[in-house]
Amino acid sequence: MKTCWVISSGMIGSENQAIGVAEAMGIEPVVKRIKLKTPWKQLSPWLAWGHNHALTADSDAISSPWPDIILASGRQTIGIARHIREQSGGKSFVVYLQDPRFNTKHFDLVIVPQHDPTRGENVLVTKCSTHRITPEKLADAKAKFEKQFHKIPHPRVAVLIGGNSRAHQMTKENAKMLAGQLLQLVDHRKTGLLITASRRTGPENEKLLREMLQGPNIHFWDGTGENPYFALLAHADFIIVTEDSISMTSEALSTGKPVYIASLEGGATRHDWFHKLLQEQGYTRPFTGLLEKWSYEPPNDTQWVADEIRARFKSRHPREGGDPARAKAP
């Protein structure tokens, strides 16, 4: 097993899930970003793949030689994953990450988080989303930002702020409440804050948060220079994540640190189920303005998935070598 393509529709969160699995297999993947034309875009994955016509001109080329492993994520990628599986004659082992809401027989392996309903013989069920966080990357990031954060007092709280999505909305009231709760921690517990927002936060909400969250004990990344995201996770004693982001919640839980979930407006059944299960299993707690310590074994989803792919690929291609040690199922 030497080559791997990540098929991406350009959604960074989904793309990173696939890249993280490839890296856990010890492979540097080739990322193929694709966009579909009409009507393939609207009818994916049901409309049969028309390889010569479906891709826009700015999509990456999809042609043989085919790789050993395909990691696809996002419904726009299903048709092309099926196409490669057929054209390679079974050479390419095709893995789909997330719930395809499509017949799993079209893939060699499907990876779904526990809050999604799809199950089957070729389906692996994870607690969280896969990701790119590793202890080594956190250690490197911690050292790199040591000087920048050294004046921020402990306990340090990393605050990972998302915002508006199909399921959730960050209102002005949400932003005010979160900022007020964080200021209470700074004033009464002498807590240090390490904060990052995202494009989904929205300019008005971000402006409000920046105006309220100022002071020597607060580092609010201004969006310039190297992204300190990994460093925030590494330097934090506690982590707060807004509930819209399954990816950020999964990444935060990889640290083994207490992870609090800050509520927003809205919701969706599967999204709500994700948070409900994690709270029942002792991984996360709702953020109410207070901090307390608890412990848990960090989910090992990414390495487990990587090991399962490697083992199943090698069982199909015995000349690739014996069955390696596999991570324990989550």
What is the DSSP secondary-structure string of 4-45? EEEEE-S-HHHHHHHHHHHHHTT--PEEEE--BPTTHHHHTT
322 pLDDT band (50/70/90 cuts)?
A: very low
Mean of per-residue pLDDT scores for the chain: 93
52 pLDDT band (50/70/90 cuts)?
A: low
Say what angle helices 269-280 and 246-253 make with each other, to 10 degrees: 20
Question: Does residue 113 surpass a pLDDT of 90?
Answer: yes
Rounded to whole angstroms, how far apart are CA atoms 92 and 70?
A: 6
At residue 222, the 3 state secondary structure works out as coil
Rounded to whole angstroms, how far apart are CA atoms 45 and 150?
A: 50
CA atoms within 13 A on the CB side of 137: 15
Q: Where are the alpha helices (DSSP H) in the chain?
A: 12-24, 40-43, 78-87, 135-144, 146-149, 172-189, 203-212, 229-235, 246-253, 269-280, 301-316
Closest to 251 in 3D by CA, of 198, 206, 208, 292: 198
pTM higher than 0.85: yes
Rounded to whole angstroms, how far apart are CA atoms 134 and 23?
A: 10
DSSP 8-state symbol, 112: E
Burial class (CB in 10 A: 0-12, 13-18, 19+), 319: exposed
pLDDT digits (tens, 9 = 90+) for 184-207: 999 998 999 999 999 999 999 999
54 pLDDT band (50/70/90 cuts)?
A: confident
In the chain the domains, ranked by start, together with CATH numbers, are 4-127+301-320 (3.40.50.2020), 135-286 (3.40.50.2000)
Bond before 258 cis per omega within 30 degrees: no
Asked if residues 84 and 70 have their Cβ atoms less than 8 Å apart, the reply is yes
What do you get for the CA distance between the two ends of the chain, in Å? 24
Average pLDDT over residues 38-45: 80
44 pLDDT band (50/70/90 cuts)?
A: confident
Instruction: Please give the pLDDT value at position 318.
Output: 74
